[in-house]
């Protein structure tokens, strides 16, 4: 694996001027089978190919009484997913308040994986824009479910 997370502030963030866009995902997993083993190898592949760089990977559980508890990465990984490489992946971008807020997006009794990552594939493009005085003024995502619903509505 090419990513050194031993010092996430140096190895994770590096020179922000040369960084690509930084995004986050909150993934809800059922607590009774919160392994994510089918999906996480794809994340490892993206990192290995230099497409993304993981800055933070944190797991929390929203208890049925709405309290939030930290979950060790080892609780998601039986060793088959390779997620142990992200143990300690904390850039300092997320604080306890961010994690509590993220946990509120999942249903009580569920597990949340909070992933902050740099889109390293876009770094050269973003750097060229900044050097030429341009700036990103808006961005967004269209969820696949919304796209499918729109296509279904146009077919009707």
* Residue pair 102/112 in contact by the 8 Å Cβ criterion: yes
Alpha-carbon span 15 to 20, nearest angstrom:
10
The structure tokens 């003024």 sit at 137
Residue 52 burial (10 A CB sphere; 0-12, 13-18, 19+): buried
| Domains of the chain, residue spans | 8-121
Given this model, what pLDDT does residue 77 score? 63
- pTM reported for the whole predicted model: 0.78
The one-digit pLDDT tens for each residue of the chain (156 residues) are 334 443 333 344 566 677 888 999 998 887 766 565 667 888 889 999 999 999 999 989 999 999 999 888 777 766 666 777 888 888 989 998 999 999 999 999 998 989 999 999 999 998 899 899 998 888 888 888 898 999 999 888
Q: Are 109 and 63 in contact (CB under 8 A)?
A: yes
């Amino acid at each position: 694996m090419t990513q050194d997370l031993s010092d996430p502030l140096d190895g994770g963030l590096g020179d922000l001027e040369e960084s690509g866009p930084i995004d986050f995902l909150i993934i809800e997993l059922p607590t009774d089978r919160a392994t994510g083993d089918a999906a996480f190898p794809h994340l490892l592949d993206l990192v290995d190919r230099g497409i993304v760089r993981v800055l933070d990977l944190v797991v929390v559980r929203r208890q049925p009484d709405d309290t939030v508890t930290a979950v060790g990465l080892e609780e998601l990984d039986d060793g088959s997913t390779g997620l142990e490489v992200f143990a300690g992946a904390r850039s300092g971008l997320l604080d306890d308040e961010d994690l509590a807020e993220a946990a509120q997006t999942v249903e009580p009794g569920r597990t949340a994986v909070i992933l902050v990552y740099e889109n390293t594939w876009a770094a050269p493009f973003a750097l060229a824009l900044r050097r030429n005085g341009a700036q990103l003024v808006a961005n967004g995502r269209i969820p696949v479910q919304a796209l499918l619903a729109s296509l279904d509505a146009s077919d009707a």
